[in-house]
Amino acid sequence: MTEDFAKFFQTMMSQGQQMAKAFTPSSFGGIDPKAFEAMFPAMPKEMLEMFFGKTFNPEGLDARTRFLVTIAAQTVLGPLGEPQLRPTVRNALAAGASKREIVEVIWQMTMFGGLPATQKALEIAQSVFTDTEETPA
């Protein structure tokens, strides 16, 4: 890792920690989640690969696969995973996952997270699919 990249990474981590402190779950009270998501659309594909793809582990999983695995985990978490599921589905689509793949991953989690968690995750995914279709590229 070069010194410039190390500085960039440290700055990014510091900014992320400050944002996390500012947006604690209790501070979302009156904020519409869709309005909040509009401030943070899907990352560009290059950033997805850099942060979630092969930059830190060149022989590892690509960003698409990582997002599918994350969707599975968030589905099993049920209500605890719901706040993060919408942006994860959006980023999975941006990383090249198909709607069918996302739905199949969610359905696969039925035996681990239960039918209610699966149903809610499917509803969230469908709303992201609808929003994605309505939003011009």
Which CATH number is 137's domain given? 1.20.1290.10
Task: Note down the domain range covering 53.
Answer: 43-137
Q: Which residues contact 89 (CB under 8 A, 6 or more apart)?
A: 71, 102, 124, 125, 128, 129
In a domain? residue 99: yes
Residue 27: predicted pLDDT? 47
Select the more confidently predicted residue: 13 or 117.
117
In a domain? residue 114: yes
Domain count for the chain: 1
Average pLDDT over residues 129-137: 74
In a domain? residue 19: no
Residue 103: predicted pLDDT? 97
In a domain? residue 49: yes
> How far is Cα 38 from Cα 128, in angstroms, rounded to an integer?
12
In a domain? residue 93: yes
Percentage of residues in the chain having pLDDT higher than 70: 62
Average pLDDT over residues 104-115: 94
Residue 59: predicted pLDDT? 73
Taking the alpha carbons at both ends of the chain, their separation in whole angstroms is 34
In a domain? residue 1: no
Task: Work out the number of other CB atoms within 10 angstroms of the CB of residue 40.
Answer: 11
The chain-wide mean pLDDT, for the chain, equals: 78
In a domain? residue 52: yes
In a domain? residue 83: yes
